[in-house]
Amino acid sequence: MIKRLIKFLIFISIVVLAWFWWVLNTGNDVDGGRQFTIESGQGVNAISQNLYETDLIKNKFVFETWILAKKVQSNVLAGNYVFPGDISISRLINTILNGPDVNDGSVTLVEGWDRNMMSQYLDKQGISADEFLRLTASPDAWESIYDFLSDVPPTGTLEGFIFPDTYFINSKTSAEDLVIKTLNNFNQKVLRFREEIIKQDTTFFDVVTLASIIEREVPNAVDKKMIADIFLKRLEIGMALQSDATINFFTGKGMTQPTYADLEIDSPYNTYKYAGLPPGPIASPGEDSIEAVLYPTSNPYYFFLTSHEGEVIYSKTYDEHLDNKAIYLK
């Protein structure tokens, strides 16, 4: 009886050790380029929990046990890391014991920037502008990986889907690496909106297109939700959006008030001449602009303007709007 028990315990031990070794050394199956920060003084349990919540590890027990077994819990180095999606727990532990790449840095893509603005900035950070523009010029190479690009027309670009955020980079980061980071980030950040987009019978492409216009119109989250309701009402009744932001997109002037000559230019992005949404996004919207489109603040207004001081002034009628222009834009 005792011999059987011993054999059984030996068998169980072998199975557990085999499982432990398999989990420790098997690569992960998430998208690559995951960013992760270890703060100074952060404990193993906290690091383990954060790694688990970001899907970089699937088993906290194995991670924590292996670090404790190696007695290296005090040797984990703080810093900003970028882990490949297929990294194993064993490789990940070795990485955080060696510390982040000494050449680690970051780039910040700002909400409301378009592809050209981003490329000019990235070129100064050592990432090829030409390569970045080439990789983001078409959805063809990406839509099979990222389903939120499925509604982008064949003539479209990745405009609007290059998620604005701060990204860790090092001397080996290529334009392709960065594009993947931004698309992975978009996928993670908008995950909570998927159900609502389906419920409203709309598409990521249309939501991002309108969100990009709102992003360029106003910076304040409260005003974004107000203006989203105004634009959505205009779309519903077939009224032109009349967004100055879309005019600035195709003229490249960035003026607070486009000229009358600008308003007469025949462009599909001229939302004074053509009702409905423009052909696509005009910039990369932030999370709050996307949220504004899906959850607008209901209001009785159909017109708005931004004063020279940055205050948004709303009007119910066109006559009121003209009066406000005379007061606030003189």
DSSP string, 210-279: HHHHHHHH---HHHHHHHHHHHHHHHHHT-----HHHHHHHH----SS--HHHHTS--TT-TTTS-S--S
Q: How far apart are CA 276 and CA 202, in angstroms?
A: 14
Residue environment code for 101-118, b if the CB has 16+ CB neighbours within 10 A, otherwise e = beebeebebebbbbbeeb
Residue 227 belongs to a domain: yes
Q: Are residues 114 and 86 in the same domain?
A: no
**Distances in whole angstroms, Cα of residue 219 to Cα of each of 110, 141, 154, 211, 239:** 12, 32, 31, 12, 24
The angle, 0 to 180 degrees and rounded to 10, between the axes of the packed helices 244-251 and 204-217 is 90
Domain assignment of residue 275, given as a range: 193-299
Q: Are residues 25 and 84 in the same domain?
A: yes
pLDDT value of residue 86: 78
Residue 310 belongs to a domain: no
Q: How far apart are CA 193 and CA 214, in angstroms?
A: 17
Q: Are residues 155 and 138 in the same domain?
A: yes
Query: From the CA atom positions of the chain, what is the Rg in Å?
Result: 25
Q: Are residues 91 and 142 in the same domain?
A: no
Structure tokens at 251: 């003229």
Pair type for strands 105-108 and 166-169:
antiparallel
Strand partners, 34: 83
pLDDT value of residue 31: 62
Domain closes at, from 189, 224, 239: 189
Domain closes at, from 54, 69, 98: 98
How confident is the model over 175-185, as a mean pLDDT? 94
Residue 309 belongs to a domain: no
| Reduced DSSP (H G I as helix, E B as strand, rest coil) percent helix, strand, coil of the chain, to 5 | 50, 10, 40
Q: How far apart are CA 268 and CA 280, in angstroms?
A: 10
Q: How far apart are CA 42 and CA 232, in angstroms?
A: 46
How confident is the model over 47-58, as a mean pLDDT? 88
pLDDT value of residue 103: 53
Least-confidence region, from 31-40, 104-113, 144-153, 251-260: 31-40
Residue 308 belongs to a domain: no
pLDDT value of residue 102: 56
% of the chain with per-residue pLDDT over 70: 95
pTM of the model: 0.76
Three-state DSSP class for residue 44: helix
Report the CATH number that the domain containing residue 31 is assigned in CATH. Answer: 3.30.1490.480
How confident is the model over 133-154, as a mean pLDDT? 95
pLDDT value of residue 20: 85
Compute φ and ψ for 269, nearest 5 degrees.
-90, 0
Asked whether 36 and 56 are in contact (CB, 8 A), the reply is yes
Query: Cα 92 vs. chain centroid, distance in angstroms?
Result: 25
Residue 92 pLDDT grade (very low, low, confident, very high; cuts 50, 70, 90): confident
Residue 178 belongs to a domain: yes
| pLDDT for 53 beyond 90 | no
Domain closes at, from 163, 189, 215: 189
Q: Write the pLDDT tens digit of every residue in 4-24.
A: 777 667 777 787 788 888 878
Three-state DSSP class for residue 81: strand
Residue 269 pLDDT grade (very low, low, confident, very high; cuts 50, 70, 90): very high
Three-state DSSP class for residue 106: strand
Structure tokens at 81: 């890391």
Residue 178 pLDDT grade (very low, low, confident, very high; cuts 50, 70, 90): very high
Q: Are residues 184 and 133 in the same domain?
A: yes
pLDDT value of residue 58: 87
Q: Are residues 291 and 199 in the same domain?
A: yes
| pLDDT for 245 beyond 90 | yes
Q: Are residues 165 and 68 in the same domain?
A: no
Q: How many domains does the chain have?
A: 3
Q: Write the pLDDT tens digit of every residue in 151-170.
A: 999 999 999 999 999 998 88
